[in-house]
Amino acid sequence: MTITPELIREHGLSDEEYARIKALLGRDANLVELGVFSVMWSEHCSYKSTRTHLKTLPTKGPHVIQGPGENAGVIDIGDGDACIFKMESHNHPSFIEPYQGAATGVGGIMRDVFTMGARPIAMMNALRFGEPDHPKTRHLVSGVISGIGGYGNCMGVPTVGGEVNFHRSYNGNILVNAMCVGLAKKDRIFLSAAKGAGNPVVYVGSKTGRDGIHGATMASAEFNEDSEEKRPTVQVGDPFTEKLLLEACLELMATDAIIAIQDMGAAGLTSSSAEMADKGGSGIELDLDKVPQREENMTAYEMLLSESQERMLAVLKPGREAEAEKIFRKWELDFAVIGKTTDTHRFIARHKGQVVADIPVTALSNEAPVYERPFVRRAPAQGEPAYDKKRPVTQSLVQLLATPDMASRRWVWEQYDHSVMNDTVEPPGSDAAVVRVHGTKKALAMTTDVTPRYCRADPFEGGKQAVAEAWRNLTASGATPLAVTDNLNYGNPQKPEIMWQIVAGIEGIGEACRALDFPVIGGNCSLYNETNGEGILPTPAIGGVGLIKDVSRRATMGFKREGDVIILIGETKGHLGQSIYLREIEGKEDGAAPPVDLAAERRHGDFVRGLIEKGRVDTAHDLSDGGLLVAIAEMAMKDGIGASIGQASLADAIAFFFGEDQARYLIAAPFAEAEKIVAEARAATIPVAELGKTGGDVLVIDDKERVSLKQLRDGYEGWFPRFMAQEEIPLSN
Amino acid sequence: MKSAVIVFPASNCDRDAATALKDITGKTPAMVWHQDSELPEVDLVVLPGGFAYGDYLRCGAMAAQSQVMKAIKAHAEKGGAVLGICNGFQVLTEAGLLPGALMRNAGLKFVCKPVTLSVEETQSAFTRKYEKGQSVSFPVAHGEGNYYADGDTLDRLEGEGRVMFRYQDNPNGSARDIAGILNPKRNVLGLMPHPERVVDPTTGGTDGRALFQSLIEALS
């Protein structure tokens, strides 16, 4: 078959890219090879627009065992234990088929983690949907949440937290980012480098079908009205098979038969085999006739590009095939030796006796194009919009708590099994979820964060803020933040203004991660999140993990006792630009994003964590969306203990109570302890203020305004169920 | 008390059950693979939560036909104790060891949350360490926990004191708020809530411990 310009474009490649392919091969490509190049050079697999910028991120630290470049990052959590985690997007498939798209997103990220030898112990996610009134939103929310639950619940891995937000910029392009956290022994970590020649390449898991062909290419293109037609490229998940695969892989990993192992994710057999050969500095030969096939008459092209789920590729030590096969047969999974490693540095596939692809391995990796996409530096949004200063504070609070972005997510997380494995110490609904390291007194805290409206106003400060908020959430739970995974969701990088969002976002993330000793150990980019030319809000989601050394010394947000003194740590300037208050009460999405002072973040956070670690404070909450009064309300509603507080500073009550200044925490402690804490903070020149006391079943503000916890809770807990109760089954999807 | 935990390929609360048993009884339970046709010498068999063989068919329908179920039936017939939790309860109804069926939750969604139960009966090996009418909090985590049986069967269950746990705030539409039932010989208990997830104050409470302590007292 001749390679025509149409064929090249259908494969998402440019004419220049094809010219480069010809040069690398020294001849024209055949159709199979064109398919292989198209997926390996797709944005999704090659990071061609972001690679040069991602290189600037800090990826090292004393506890980093494995940074970016493997299936997931690995950190040392002491006592010979390692924590392996990563976040990845499944945005495009989830918009087309929400249940299966989200489910296979969960399955994919779990495989990334257990392929490295870890047992997954917790799932997190970061979800963004269109505006609530959009006709598709309920259907998408319902499908995505069921899909995440359907897969995770069956796997028996608790889904312990995440984010759900709504904004019209996601109407045609939702975001589904799933994160998996796993545990392994430090000396039992498995990598993907297929070193050595003549070693058997084995295929395990499900059979290969025609599903998901060109998924990676789809994820690297914009959507338009015809996207519905792409439904056949969404894969179908089978969590039962994944559960078998997990147990079988962990059983095989307990032996020493494995040289390298990698899951078949995006671009399936092609990317797993090419990447393993590339990392091992070897070559690979595949005999496609040996691939377990679900359908008849599959072509080489289909087998190489299929994204059928629940499959793994491993390179074994020679002679260990029978031992491995026995394990996979016990778990009733397919097992086939489908090739071997070579020293030729070539990726070769044979089918029906013919060589159907013969490509230098480096052509698919190092030689893949890298673009310095042009960008235009934009001045960040400035100023602060005007607002009505007379509006009663409590009335606004009641209103805010019942808005789509602020209301309780209970409706969501009650559909996730968040307590299976019996180590969930802090379930969803807190600053950070906390999961104990099984059989120890250690625990991992985890969170996902980003504030896209800040990122739109100021991509750089927004990038910093996402990292700072993740760090704060972990700190408020008493954890020492250790590392992050990033999931960078942006629009089309070929538009200079979008490329600027990406470049500045990565710079901001890098700056914050350096200042907070919070290295990036892995991540994923999802670009081209646009529909009909409209980009999403820039959404660089940050997944952070921290360690609590003694789980009996941690903090949660709920007030614990009547009569505790409520203390505010950090400076309140009353920054209302880009605040939830302005957006929801005044209908304004303008102004400057709040600046992030990383030195202050560090000092204030270290102070609060120190109190928690010493067992002096058990009540702490990070201040974020909605500001101080929303945080107080959350602390009060949690365990049903109210508070009486005053306006400690500023002339303007609205700025004081709803400003979104960063680097702030609320803590509560009994009187004597509180007095000491305040004195210590002052001595350390940390801004501190006593706001009032806990007690009763109402919130009282400045002895004037009051609102019952019941009224707050009705709106806060009521919004989501009421919203979803109007879900209809659409006539056509 | 010696115990065994049955492991189907997609059981996922098997470790939780084993951890709770080890913690409370001081003895490591035997883990029994679904293809085994014999059980070790044990006093208690636990069918744990999870998805057995994926449960793409009716929950527990395939597990009820598994090799190991024959041995469990024989164990129950001899008077041995059997505890089915969540998926284990579904398997026990499908296998005919307990009456009724567990249908899709009335709300059509999976539900995971702590629920308050009342202990209806203390005349059993499973509940003797509780007080009659005591309120306890166990989590539920299921998509198909809506207990159904015909009116006569429900009347009989209630008349014979075989409704062991009732929901105080029914999360799934179960008939007469039933959360857990016994067989006529009172040696087989099935319940949807998870007692094995409330045995540790660090992870949600300790209300489930008395169930295992009851078994130790009754069976040792």
pLDDT of residue A541 exceeding 90, the answer is yes
Residues of chain A contacting residue B9, judged by C-beta atoms under 8 Å apart: 240, 243-244, 247, 331-332
**Closest residue, chain A, to B203 (C-alpha):** A425
Residues of chain B contacting residue A241, judged by C-beta atoms under 8 Å apart: 54
Q: Count of CB atoms within 10 A of residue A313's CB?
A: 28
Q: pLDDT for A151-197, tens place per residue?
A: 999 999 999 999 999 999 999 999 999 999 999 999 999 999 999 99
Mean pLDDT of all residues in chain A?
95
A-proximal residues of B, 33-62, CB under 8 Å: 49-51, 53-56
* Confidence at residue A226, expressed as pLDDT on a 0 to 100 scale: 58
Q: Which residues of A402-433 are buried (b: 16+ CB within 10 A; e: fewer)?
A: bbbbbbbbebbbbbbbbbbbbbbbbbbbbbbb
Q: How confident is the model at residue B197 (pLDDT cuts 50, 70, 90)?
A: very high
Q: Are A608 and A567 in contact (CB under 8 A)?
A: no
pLDDT, average across residues B91-103: 98
Of A165-169, A709-713, A722-726, B117-121, the one with minimum mean pLDDT is A722-726
Q: pLDDT for A624-676, tens place per residue?
A: 999 999 999 999 999 999 999 999 888 899 999 999 999 999 999 999 999 99
Q: Is A182 on the interface with B (CB under 8 A)?
A: no
Q: Which one, of A625, A617, A602, lies nearest residue A561 by Cα?
A: A617
Q: Are A422 and B196 in contact (CB under 8 A)?
A: yes
pLDDT of residue A218 exceeding 70, the answer is no
pLDDT, average across residues B56-72: 95
Q: Is A685 on the interface with B (CB under 8 A)?
A: no
* Confidence at residue A732, expressed as pLDDT on a 0 to 100 scale: 44
Partner-chain residue, chosen from B51, B112, B204, that has the shortest CB–CB distance to A240: B51
* Confidence at residue A204, expressed as pLDDT on a 0 to 100 scale: 97
Burial class (CB in 10 A: 0-12, 13-18, 19+), A630: buried
Upper half-sphere CA count for residue A333 (Cβ side, 13 Å): 31
* Confidence at residue A532, expressed as pLDDT on a 0 to 100 scale: 83
How far apart are alpha carbons A117 and A71 in whole angstroms?
Answer: 11
Give the best residue of A411, A412, A417 to mutate against chain B (max B CB count within 10 A): A417
Question: pLDDT over 70 for what percent of chain B?
Answer: 100
Q: Kindly report the nearest CA distance between residue B79 and chain A, in angstroms.
A: 30
B-proximal residues of A, 486-515, CB under 8 Å: none
Q: Are A400 and A626 in contact (CB under 8 A)?
A: yes
Of A2-6, A202-206, A614-618, the one with minimum mean pLDDT is A2-6
* Confidence at residue A221, expressed as pLDDT on a 0 to 100 scale: 63
Give the best residue of B112, B192, B197, B198 to mutate against chain A (max A CB count within 10 A): B112
Please judge whether B54 and A416 are an interchain contact, meaning their C-beta atoms are less than 8 angstroms apart: no
Q: How confident is the model at residue A726 (pLDDT cuts 50, 70, 90)?
A: confident
Q: Is A351 among the catalytic positions?
A: no
**Higher-confidence position of A594 and B220:** A594
Which residues lie below 8 Å from residue B211, measured CB to CB, with a gap of 6+?
B126, B127, B129, B130, B195
Q: pLDDT for A15-38, tens place per residue?
A: 999 999 999 999 999 999 999 999
How far apart are alpha carbons A123 and A239 in whole angstroms?
Answer: 14
Torsion from C-alpha of A58, A63, A65, A70, nearest 10 degrees: -40
Q: Are A415 and B110 in contact (CB under 8 A)?
A: yes
Q: pLDDT for A403-417, tens place per residue?
A: 999 999 999 999 999
Overall residue count recorded for chain B in this entry? 220
pLDDT of residue A78 exceeding 60, the answer is yes
How far apart are alpha carbons B6 and B35 in whole angstroms?
Answer: 10
pLDDT, average across residues A387-412: 97
ipTM for the predicted complex comes to 0.97
Please judge whether B112 and A419 are an interchain contact, meaning their C-beta atoms are less than 8 angstroms apart: yes
**Closest residue, chain A, to B15 (C-alpha):** A421
How far apart are alpha carbons A677 and A671 in whole angstroms?
Answer: 10
* Confidence at residue A431, expressed as pLDDT on a 0 to 100 scale: 95
Q: Is A422 on the interface with B (CB under 8 A)?
A: yes
Please judge whether A419 and B109 are an interchain contact, meaning their C-beta atoms are less than 8 angstroms apart: no
Q: Is A331 on the interface with B (CB under 8 A)?
A: yes
Of A216-225, A392-401, A417-426, A673-682, the one with minimum mean pLDDT is A216-225
pLDDT of residue A123 exceeding 80, the answer is yes
How far apart are alpha carbons B172 and A102 in whole angstroms?
Answer: 25
Q: Are A435 and A441 in contact (CB under 8 A)?
A: no
pLDDT, average across residues A605-619: 98
How far apart are alpha carbons A206 and A292 in whole angstroms?
Answer: 8
Partner-chain residue, chosen from B53, B141, B199, that has the shortest CB–CB distance to A419: B141
Q: Count of CB atoms within 10 A of residue A658's CB?
A: 27
A-proximal residues of B, 88-127, CB under 8 Å: 109-113
pLDDT of residue A75 exceeding 90, the answer is yes
What's the 3-state SS for A537-566? CCEEEEEEEEEECCCCCCCECCCCCCCCEE
Please judge whether B9 and A240 are an interchain contact, meaning their C-beta atoms are less than 8 angstroms apart: yes
**Closest residue, chain B, to A333 (C-alpha):** B9
Q: pLDDT for A415-437, tens place per residue?
A: 999 999 999 999 999 999 999 99
pLDDT of residue A457 exceeding 90, the answer is yes
The residue from A53, A63, A90, A575 that is catalytic is A90
Q: How confident is the model at residue A733 (pLDDT cuts 50, 70, 90)?
A: very low
pLDDT of residue A731 exceeding 90, the answer is no
Q: Are A171 and A138 in contact (CB under 8 A)?
A: no
Mean pLDDT of all residues in chain B?
97
How far apart are alpha carbons A194 and A344 in whole angstroms?
Answer: 13
